[in-house]
Amino acid sequence: MSLRQGRIFQFGRFHVDASARTLRREDAIIKLNSRSFEVLLYLVRNPGKALTRDELLKNAWPDAFVDEHSLAQSISVLRRALEEKPGDNSYIVTLPGRGYQFVSEVQVVGSEVMASENGNTLQEVATADRANASGILFQKHRVETSVITSEDKEQRSSPVSQSRLLIRAVAAVLAVVAVVALLVRFRGPRRTQPNHELVERQLTANPPENSISSQALSRDGKYLAYSDFLSNNLYLLAIDSGEIRQLPLPAQYEPVDWFPDGNHLLMRANDGELWKMSTWDSRLRKLWGGNADGEEVSPDGSHIAFVKDGGVWLMGADGEEPREILKSDGEVAGAIAWSPTGQRLAYIRIQGPFAKRQATIENCDLSGGARTAVLSDPDIWNADDTGTIAWLADGRIVYTTSKGGDSDVLAGGSDLWSITADPSTGRPMGGAKRLVGWKDFRALGPQASADGKRLIASRYHHESGIYIGTFAFGNQAFAPLRFTPDTWYNKVEAWTKDSKAILFSSKRNGRWAVFKQGVDAKTPEALITGPENYWLPRLSAEGTLLYMASASPNDSSDTTLRLMSTPAEGGARSTLMMGSYYYACGAAPSSSCVVSELKDKQLKFSHLDPVKGRGEEIARLDGYQSPRPEWDLSPDGSRLAIVDEGQGKGEIRMLSLADRKVTVLPIRDWKWHSLQKISWAADGKNLFGLTLSDSSFDLLLIDARGNPRVLYNVPIGTGWIASIVPSPDGRSLTFTKRSYVYDVVLVENF
């Protein structure tokens, strides 16, 4: 069989000759590469039809291994060849999240006629009848073709012809209605739809020291863009094949969303600025110079919504006309989700004090009006100040909830939920439904593909380790080593008086307990266990063990909270005080203990008898800004060193227990944001402090004059230091390091 005649397609001023493989504009030939011509040929053969990207790739390039980026590049080449200007869609229209459509009227002025060897002809056109080198036919379609002559045009335009066409059309419609009626009347029994099992797949597995910092799912659900904390790289993962493309960038940028064209990403810089990046050449263009959060591109790619200073903002896709559309009573969280129609925006509104915050999912129109509440649930907003949502194609709003309350404890885990809201009005439709739950993990940042069939979330947990390093004053480097090899959630609290063992709290078997472990031992010894939670162990100079107990830890409103004591060698447990307290004891034989209580920003100090309980009041400090007390008692029991993270000052307040006077020790060369923790060194002169900078948590040695020296640091985003405890003999320093572990998980059939 051979091809005897080529097919010519005419639209506007252009002609496409399938046989000669040329594109003409009037008399001029426009050069196109082979791939672009194949795409154009398939488009003009299917005018008016919405063509998905997969269909174009499958039929235009069946024998080539290419991705959607190549297709988008060919579409861009065709737009230039057809002289389409930005915003002009005379020929090719992009269908956001789907594909493309050729919208110009196409006239066929020639037909492809296939002739067999005996001369017979067939009106059969193979739109993708191309074989590879092995002669394998990839795909074949049958279409009807015809040659329209001038006589045909006149006959079709005559009144008689038009009436005949109308009669035929009406008859065809009636026939279809009759067939449908018969099918409805005599259809068989309905088949029960099979239940689909939820599918989860982990997409990333970065090490704790360089975890995932941000991620974004492409609109077609095929690509994952993500970044890590320690490099300037962007990674593009082809989800189905597992192939990864690494793009080095000039600085750290986080991918937050994809544009519908599949060729550009919305990126956020460390300072909150928004940038648009090409996945072709990594070229960056600045869109917004202020601080932004919760950014998301509209379904059609024409606008970007984000949160700034507790309000919802909207701007064009190129950063034009930024404007605040909603000033919420309370505070809008850093979470924005576009409705599938692009007519509304969903967000999380936070109200109330920090300890009793209320979180509500609301939505509004693009002017900030017609506000509608969808769901109120305090668990939407957790202690990490995170809460994110996604609005799916079927109308479901997916959100996360977290139990446990304390960012230092992942008790209760995290769940993904959904509730349906009308995309046009925003009104809720039905109740909430649990999609998936992760025990001891927290879920963040749900994002869905345009069709709503694929969903990603960042699932994270904390890895905890206790480290011990030998310390010597002078210029000797401090090189700590991990002491606890297990992955239980541990926190070092104190040393034994002989500096041969440490005391630590550990959350295992679902509850907190107090353990002791020698520095040369491989396993710990349980000191305080039972049906409740026990933590914050301290040893008095006489050897009494103090600790906190409660049915549910880390909740200051818990009425079961109490300060308890027991002899170090074991014995009866005594309740000293009811409530939430912080306490410390001196190391000298004659030194006592001190207990503090924080209420209404007033920090009250009192003497503490390890057997009898609270004694005489020492002093009160007003205007304490931190939510928890941070102070330490000197080894001789004479002074308190107090820091207030909430004030953001580089100073240590010294309270003398003898005369109740307060002096201030300023830290020289202060360059940090806050001083978070403080501990006395064994000599009673130097101190250890924990500070926060733009890039890291820094462990400092501070001498008696306030001169700091950085001993150890943890980069921001990789973790933090939860406690610092120097040994009584002055030779060692132990601390608790928490590490973030983020993994991106793909969820399907949800």
Beta bridge partners of 93: 101
Q: What is the CATH number of the domain that holds 255?
A: 2.130.10.10
Q: Does 515 share its domain with 407?
A: no
Q: Does 553 share its domain with 633?
A: yes
Predicted confidence at residue 189, as pLDDT, reads 38
Q: Does 142 share its domain with 247?
A: no
Q: Does 365 share its domain with 492?
A: no
Q: Specify whether the CB–CB gap between 635 and 653 falls below 8 A.
A: no
- pLDDT tens digits for range 349-387: 888 765 567 889 999 999 999 999 999 988 886 645 456
Nearest to 436 by CA among 214, 727, 600, 199: 199
Q: How far apart are the C-alpha atoms of 79 and 308, rounded to whole Å? A: 37
Comparison of pLDDT for 316 and 589, the residue scoring more: 316
Residue 527 identity: L
Q: Is the pLDDT of residue 113 over 80?
A: no
Q: Does 362 share its domain with 501?
A: no
Q: Does 138 share its domain with 239?
A: no
Q: Specify whether the CB–CB gap between 627 and 645 falls below 8 A.
A: no
Q: How far apart are the C-alpha atoms of 293 and 595, rounded to whole Å? A: 41
Looking at the domain assignment, is residue 161 inside a domain? no
Looking at the domain assignment, is residue 429 inside a domain? yes
Q: Specify whether the CB–CB gap between 268 and 256 falls below 8 A.
A: yes
pLDDT interval class at 31 (50, 70, 90): confident
Q: Does 444 share its domain with 487?
A: no
Q: For 634-695, where are the E strands, in sequence order?
A: 639-643, 651-656, 662-666, 674-680, 687-692
Question: Distance from CA of residue 359 to its chain's centroid?
Answer: 19
Q: How far apart are the C-alpha atoms of 653 and 627, rounded to whole Å? A: 17
Using a 10 angstrom Cβ sphere, with 0-12 exposed, 13-18 middle and 19 or more buried, the burial of residue 699 is buried
Looking at the domain assignment, is residue 184 inside a domain? no
Q: Is the pLDDT of residue 87 over 80?
A: no
Q: Is the pLDDT of residue 416 over 70?
A: yes
List the alpha helices (DSSP H) in 272-377: none
Predicted confidence at residue 410, as pLDDT, reads 44
Q: Does 444 share its domain with 476?
A: no
- Where does a domain end: 120, 136, 151? 151
Q: Largest alpha-carbon pair distance within the chain?
A: 118
Residue 23, H or E segment: strand 22-25
pLDDT interval class at 118 (50, 70, 90): very low
Comparison of pLDDT for 589 and 662, the residue scoring more: 662
Comparison of pLDDT for 116 and 33, the residue scoring more: 33
- pLDDT tens digits for range 705-747: 999 999 999 988 788 999 999 999 999 999 999 988 888 999 9
Q: How far apart are the C-alpha atoms of 48 and 35, rounded to whole Å? A: 21
Q: Is the pLDDT of residue 5 over 50?
A: no
Give per-residue burial for 270-290: e unless 16+ CB within 10 Å, then b: eeebbbbbebeeeebeebbee
Nearest to 12 by CA among 74, 72, 83: 83
Question: Distance from CA of residue 734 to its chain's centroid?
Answer: 33
- pLDDT tens digits for range 297-343: 999 999 999 998 889 999 999 999 999 999 866 677 768 999 999 99
Question: Distance from CA of residue 11 to its chain's centroid?
Answer: 46
Q: Specify whether the CB–CB gap between 211 and 742 falls below 8 A.
A: yes
Q: Is the pLDDT of residue 539 over 50?
A: yes
Predicted confidence at residue 400, as pLDDT, reads 87
Looking at the domain assignment, is residue 181 inside a domain? no
Looking at the domain assignment, is residue 186 inside a domain? no
Q: How far, in Å, are 198, 220, 650, 747 from residue 453 at the CA level?
A: 11, 10, 51, 9
382: which residues sit within 8 A by CB, 6+ positions away? 402, 404, 405, 407, 442
Mean pLDDT score, 447-456: 94
Q: Does 561 share its domain with 612?
A: yes
Predicted confidence at residue 68, as pLDDT, reads 61
- Where does a domain end: 151, 166, 191? 151
- Of the listed ranges 414-418, 436-440, 479-483, 710-714, the least confidently predicted one is 436-440
Comparison of pLDDT for 697 and 170, the residue scoring more: 697
Q: How far apart are the C-alpha atoms of 113 and 2, rounded to whole Å? A: 9
pLDDT interval class at 136 (50, 70, 90): very low
Q: Specify whether the CB–CB gap between 215 and 445 falls below 8 A.
A: yes
Predicted confidence at residue 537, as pLDDT, reads 97
Q: Is the pLDDT of residue 525 over 90?
A: yes
Nearest to 210 by CA among 716, 692, 710, 695: 716
Q: What is the DSSP string of 243-260?
A: -EEEEE-SS-EEEEEE-T
Question: Residue 429 has which token pair?
Answer: 């439709």
Predicted confidence at residue 185, as pLDDT, reads 42
pLDDT interval class at 196 (50, 70, 90): low
* Coil/strand/helix, residue 80: helix
Boundaries of domain holding 689: 472-730
**Cβ atoms within 10 A of the Cβ of 728, count?**
17
- Of the listed ranges 174-183, 332-341, 571-580, 669-678, the least confidently predicted one is 174-183
Q: Is the pLDDT of residue 89 over 80?
A: no
- Of the listed ranges 184-193, 238-247, 558-567, 594-603, the least confidently predicted one is 184-193
Using a 10 angstrom Cβ sphere, with 0-12 exposed, 13-18 middle and 19 or more buried, the burial of residue 221 is buried
Predicted confidence at residue 485, as pLDDT, reads 85
Q: Specify whether the CB–CB gap between 60 and 42 falls below 8 A.
A: yes
Q: Specify whether the CB–CB gap between 459 and 503 falls below 8 A.
A: no
Q: Is the pLDDT of residue 157 over 70?
A: no
Q: What is the CATH number of the domain that holds 34?
A: 1.10.10.10
- Where does a domain end: 120, 151, 182? 151
Q: How far apart are the C-alpha atoms of 451 and 116, rounded to whole Å? A: 45
Beta bridge partners of 630: 643
Residue 705 identity: R
Q: What is the CATH number of the domain that holds 578?
A: 2.120.10.30
Using a 10 angstrom Cβ sphere, with 0-12 exposed, 13-18 middle and 19 or more buried, the burial of residue 305 is buried
Q: Does 551 share its domain with 655?
A: yes
- % of the chain exceeding 70 in pLDDT: 81
Looking at the domain assignment, is residue 486 inside a domain? yes
401: which residues sit within 8 A by CB, 6+ positions away? 377, 379, 380, 414, 415, 417
Supply the mean pLDDT for the chain.
Answer: 82
- Of the listed ranges 23-27, 171-175, 260-264, 646-650, the least confidently predicted one is 171-175
Using a 10 angstrom Cβ sphere, with 0-12 exposed, 13-18 middle and 19 or more buried, the burial of residue 228 is buried
Q: How far apart are the C-alpha atoms of 79 and 100, rounded to whole Å? A: 12
**Cβ atoms within 10 A of the Cβ of 562, count?**
18
Q: Does 586 share its domain with 545?
A: yes
- % of the chain exceeding 90 in pLDDT: 55
Question: Residue 497 has which token pair?
Answer: 């008086």
Question: Residue 512 has which token pair?
Answer: 């907190």
Describe the strand order of the beta sheet including 489-495 as a list of residue ranges.
Answer: 489-495, 501-508, 511-518, 525-528
Q: Does 489 share its domain with 435?
A: no
What is the domain count for the chain?
3
Q: For 343-413, where are the E strands, in sequence order?
A: 344-351, 358-365, 372-376, 389-391, 396-402
Looking at the domain assignment, is residue 83 inside a domain? yes
Looking at the domain assignment, is residue 188 inside a domain? no
**Cβ atoms within 10 A of the Cβ of 140, count?**
12
